[in-house]
């Protein structure tokens, strides 16, 4: 989709993805975040969560991946410019998450692109909101005709 195709109120829901122990261990290695809450089962049992949970930023990273695989941003999003994000509930090993996205606003930026503001909610298999926020992306415009 090009900038001109985005309409305020337009919505998409991505496919789901189940969060695995391998995802958490891999993200710990990639990010260097080996907080015991994510990698130490004994410690995690003593926390209010009662078990290991995914890194908050792993959930955000998975949401961006799910959105990109949904197809509506493919080939047109030039940059991810900003985000505001809230971590509402834990993502647990075995949870299946999906992202619901809604166009909150658009703003042309010259002849070649425009800003698209997306309200994004990450939901688990129980339809509970685990993360939410707003992304602003720069999207290509169609070339002028003529």
pLDDT tens-digit profile of 94-111? 999 999 999 999 999 988
74 vs 35, higher pLDDT: 35
Q: What CA–CA distance (Å, rounded) separates 16 from 8?
A: 24
* Count of other CB atoms within 10 angstroms of residue 60: 19
Q: What CA–CA distance (Å, rounded) separates 146 from 139?
A: 21
Question: Under a CB-based contact definition with an 8 Å cutoff, are residues 38 and 24 in contact?
Answer: yes
Q: How many domains does the chain have?
A: 1
Q: 118 lies in a domain?
A: yes
Q: 60 lies in a domain?
A: yes
Q: 145 lies in a domain?
A: no
Q: 73 lies in a domain?
A: yes
What predicted TM-score, i.e. pTM, was given to this entire model?
0.94
pLDDT of residue 144: 79
Q: 146 lies in a domain?
A: no
Query: 48 is in which domain, residue-wise?
Result: 3-140
């Amino acid at each position: 989709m090009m900038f001109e195709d985005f309409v305020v109120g337009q919505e998409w829901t991505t496919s789901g993805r189940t969060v695995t122990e391998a995802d958490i261990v891999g993200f710990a290695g990639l990010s260097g975040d080996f907080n015991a809450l994510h990698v130490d089962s004994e410690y995690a049992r003593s926390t209010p969560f009662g078990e290991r949970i995914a890194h908050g930023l792993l959930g955000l990273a998975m949401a961006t991946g799910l959105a990109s695989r949904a197809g509506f941003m493919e080939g047109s999003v030039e940059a991810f410019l900003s985000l505001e994000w809230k971590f509402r509930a834990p993502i647990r090993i075995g949870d299946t998450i999906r992202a619901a996205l809604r166009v909150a606003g658009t703003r042309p930026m010259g002849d070649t692109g425009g800003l698209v503001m997306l309200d994004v909610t990450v939901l688990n298999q129980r339809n509970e909101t685990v993360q939410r926020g707003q992304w602003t992306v720069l999207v290509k415009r169609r070339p002028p005709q003529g």
